[in-house]
Amino acid sequence: MRYLLAIWKATRSSNSGEVWETMRRELSFLYSRFYGILLGGILIMYELHNYMRWILLRMYSFWIRT
């Protein structure tokens, strides 16, 4: 999350007169998207735990050439 926050700070324009509400809205969107994806990933892993061995094998076999 710190990395995402550093990227967000670096990509924003350095307009010091920006309204606090806009900045708070952008930050809340960033946080909600991050934690939503994190929770979604955990739920998907929980639902597919029976197939996790095959999913991981598939993900880590990208370097095998056919």
Whether pLDDT at 32 is above 80: yes
Give every CB contact of residue 12 below 8 A, 6+ residues apart in sequence: none
pLDDT at position 41 over 70? yes
List, for residues 43-53, the tens digit of each pLDDT value: 999 999 999 89
| AA identity, residue 10 | A
pLDDT-derived band at 59, boundaries 50, 70, 90: confident
**All residues at 6 or more sequence positions from 55 whose CB lies less than 8 Å from its CB, including other chains:** 48
Task: State how far the Cα of 13 lies from the Cα of 15, in Å rounded to an integer.
Answer: 6
Distance from chain centroid for Cα 21: 23
Residue 16's pLDDT is what?
57
pLDDT in the model for residue 55? 87
How far apart (Å, rounded) are the C-alpha atoms in residues 39 and 31? 12
CA distance 46 to 40: 10
Tell me the average pLDDT across 15-41.
83
